Structure 1
Amino acid sequence: MGFEATQKGNPHKLTINQHVFPKKSIDRFSDENGLVQLCRKDGAKVIRVSSTNSLFCAKRVWDQGTEAGIGKGIEDRFQALAESILSGASKVIGCFEKIVVEDFFSLWRTRRKLRAEGLDDVEIQGRHGDFLTKDEQEILEEKHVMFFRDGVMPGRFAARIHVFGYMNTFRHDNRDMQWGIVRAGEGEFIVPDCFQDMMIVPVSPNLMIIADQPNSTLTRNEVAVINQAAIARSTDYYFARSLPSCPVLLDSPPRIQRLFSK
């Protein structure tokens, strides 16, 4: 799936590098130099990168309305909740918080899927529309308006439909699911490029929000099992504030075995 470049200089400030996992979330895992330790699954050595690194981004895979409209709204609500949890103001994931967490997890997983697979352009027979210059197209996209070119809608606009579709399905399928605030009693957490089928939302090196778990503090072995799952489910990379501080264990302690039965 090719990347459609903007006009020279990107005059309408369309987002080119689109974060799959939000920059603000990555920054919570950064060290005193603003860097995280990242390991590529292709066997390359561990590298230190900032949250602006292109490894964390898709390249204009979804449209500006999905990025700056839908996505930003979901991110902003989650980041406010995350800060509230970290400050101690929010202590449980209630009905309102559940929606915030689930929409964020669904957005993260959908973005990861879109980055990996892209979306084909959508052709509608019999629809041609008016001719639009490149500048007119970008003005429309800046205003979150979809458009057709000779009866074809660029695939990135279809991403908006997918985000809503996956989000609504996720809400419906997990309407009885409860989430817990889980802290690492010892060691730190690893973040994958996506947890895939495991409903885990990383918040900080010592805190995650996990489905089907009560509020709890995990032992070092339990943290190690979560980290092993993060590595196993990552596709291209995983990262942490300090990978040597993140224990990894293959055996699953009984208290979190149910995480692996999804």
Structure 2
Amino acid sequence: MGFEAPQKGNPHKLTINQHVFPRKSIDRFSNESGLVQLFKIDGAKVISASSTNNLFCAKRVWDQSTEAGIGKHIEDRFQDLVDSILAGYTKVIGVFEKIVVEDFFSLWRTRQKFRTEGLEDFKLEGIEGDSLTRDEQEILERQHVMFCRDGIMPGRFAARIHVFGYMNTFRQDNQHMQWGIVRAGEGQFIVPDCFQDMMIVPVSPKLMIMADQPNSTLTRSEVAITNQTAIARSTDYYFAKDLASCPVIFDSPPRLQRLFSK
């Protein structure tokens, strides 16, 4: 476990800084300068950050296949859905949209788990593995092929198995869950580094997709309790387009008590 640097110059273009929450999603919260306001919990300070900031990333925790294969596929489907919602073409989260949203939420939460906990290297009994040069190893990973070194497989290769496993379990556990497109009537939304157990997917400063909620427009106090939940679930940071425009309170309005009382 731990960061394994590629060869000097990264000749095979392996992704080193891996976004937990996609750059495109972060950019939807950026201001005219292309920056978001980010509150770092460690140090308790606000900084301006672009979506390329390493704070948003894990450092080669999962393998290239998980990054550019299954991860990109899930992200691309979700971004297409979001673009359609923002353009006004998609107005409800139906059966097909539900799968897209849930797969994305599961991926986001799984990546956050990888980032905070890492992935242990593991020994494959009875398998010694081939004698590969560093260059050969990186070529294989670039081609989405796993490998062992002296019977030990780097933990990042287990990521794709976990992503599929968590995603399938999430689908099964939430077969009857409905999602709604929720807008902020007043104020703006805060985005945590992950919502953890709360099934909320940030879309833009004025829009989120929430489980167990109908399509609706939230009052200022309901936006505030949503933001308080985001802050409470944050591990290392939270961000917004303009934190001063994000109300925060601690008392849950009746309409959201069911969602936020977990």
What is the TM-score normalised by the length of structure 2? 0.99
Structure 2 residue aligned with 1:230: 230
Matches of residues 58-73 of structure 1 in structure 2 within 5 Å?
A: 58-73=58-73
Q: Which runs of 5+ in 2 are unaligned?
A: none
Alpha-carbon distance in structure 2 between the residues aligned to 1:254 and 1:138: 54
Q: Does 1:143 align with 2:143?
A: yes
* 1:130 CA drift (Å): 1.7
Structure 2 residue aligned with 1:120: 120
Alpha-carbon distance in structure 2 between the residues aligned to 1:52 and 1:71: 18
Alpha-carbon distance in structure 2 between the residues aligned to 1:128 and 1:249: 57
Q: What SS does the corresponding residue of 2:181 show, helix, strand or coil?
A: strand
Alpha-carbon distance in structure 1 between the residues aligned to 2:29 and 2:146: 36
Structure 2 residue aligned with 1:199: 199
User: Runs of at least 4 residues of structure 1 off by over 2 A?
Assistant: none
* 1:260 CA drift (Å): 2.0
Structure 1 residue aligned with 2:107: 107
Q: Deviations over 1:10-56 (max 9, x none)?
A: 01100000000000000000000000000011233100000000000
Alpha-carbon distance in structure 1 between the residues aligned to 2:55 and 2:42: 13
Structure 2 residue aligned with 1:30: 30
* 1:176 CA drift (Å): 0.3
Alpha-carbon distance in structure 2 between the residues aligned to 1:255 and 1:198: 16
2:40 maps to a residue whose letter is: R
Structure 1 residue aligned with 2:182: 182
Q: Is the deviation greater in 227-236 or in 124-133?
A: 124-133
Alpha-carbon distance in structure 2 between the residues aligned to 1:130 and 1:78: 38
Alpha-carbon distance in structure 2 between the residues aligned to 1:125 and 1:158: 16
Structure 2 residue aligned with 1:239: 239
Alpha-carbon distance in structure 2 between the residues aligned to 1:218 and 1:129: 56
1:240 maps to a residue whose letter is: A
Q: What SS does the corresponding residue of 1:183 show, helix, strand or coil?
A: strand
1:34 maps to a residue whose letter is: G
Q: Alignment identity in percent?
A: 81
Q: Which runs of 5+ in 1 are unaligned?
A: none
Alpha-carbon distance in structure 2 between the residues aligned to 1:221 and 1:43: 28
* 1:4 CA drift (Å): 0.2
Q: What SS does the corresponding residue of 1:92 show, helix, strand or coil?
A: coil
Alpha-carbon distance in structure 2 between the residues aligned to 1:152 and 1:55: 30
CA RMSD, Structure 1 to Structure 2 (Å)? 0.7
Q: Deviations over 1:30-84 (max 9, x none)?
A: 0000000000112331000000000000000000000000000000000000000
Alpha-carbon distance in structure 2 between the residues aligned to 1:261 and 1:189: 19
1:64 maps to a residue whose letter is: Q
Alpha-carbon distance in structure 2 between the residues aligned to 1:129 and 1:147: 7
* 1:237 CA drift (Å): 0.3
* 1:261 CA drift (Å): 3.5
Q: What SS does the corresponding residue of 1:202 show, helix, strand or coil?
A: strand
Q: Deviations over 1:141-169 (max 9, x none)?
A: 00111111111110000011110110000
